[in-house]
Amino acid sequence: METQDLKKAGLKVTLPRMKILEILETSNVHHLTAEDIYRQLLEAGEEIGLATVYRVLTQFEAAGLVTRHHFEGGQAVFELERGAHHDHLVCVKCGKVVEFMDETIEAKQRQISSEAGFEITDHALTIYGICRDCR
């Protein structure tokens, strides 16, 4: 199934791409930095360069397999595209990310954009806060 996705995107099926996709698919944390992925590759004994990780993630993003988020902190996080759109609640203490989706908000956004003459290409709603465990 993965190799199909790569081929469809016009990307050759290579070991680095398979491994990176595998990490994104199997990680229980859905939002990973390039560095996170690189570290996991090293721990798994794979000799894959950090430059390759960034390159592959950028290609995955272009192919729609992955979404890049710019949460606070300057470092980008990558998330495997699992179909359903959602927004994020991020804990500013521990970094935990909770996903949510609210059709009322979605609809309001479409209305506001259209009233302002904008054609939506994307949107990002991120709520920052302190989670239960950190209080």
Q: Can you give the binding site for DNA, defined by CB under 7 A?
A: 7, 11-17, 33-35, 47-52, 54-56, 58, 74-76
> At which residue do the structure tokens 């190799």 appear?
3
> At which residue do the structure tokens 């806060």 appear?
129
Residue with Cβ nearer a second copy (62 or 124): 124
DSSP states along 9-72: TT----HHHHHHHHHHHH-SSS-B-HHHHHHHHHHTT----HHHHHHHHHHHHHTTSEEEE--T
- Contact partner, 55, from a second copy, DNA, none, Cβ < 5-8 Å per class: DNA
Q: Whole-number minimum distance, CB 51 to DNA, in Å?
A: 3
To which H or E segment does residue 68 belong? Answer: strand 66-69
Residue with Cβ nearer a second copy (6 or 90): 90
* Cα–Cα dist 5/125, whole Å: 28
Q: Whole-number minimum distance, CB 75 to DNA, in Å?
A: 4
* Cα–Cα dist 11/3, whole Å: 9
Q: Whole-number minimum distance, CB 124 to a second copy, in Å?
A: 5
Residue with Cβ nearer DNA (2 or 106): 2
Q: Whole-number minimum distance, CB 52 to DNA, in Å?
A: 3
Q: Which residues bind a second copy (CB under 8 A)?
A: 70-72, 74, 76, 89, 91-92, 98, 100, 102, 104-105, 108-109, 112-113, 116-132, 135
Helix (H, G, I), strand (E, B) or coil at 80: strand
Residue with Cβ nearer DNA (95 or 113): 95
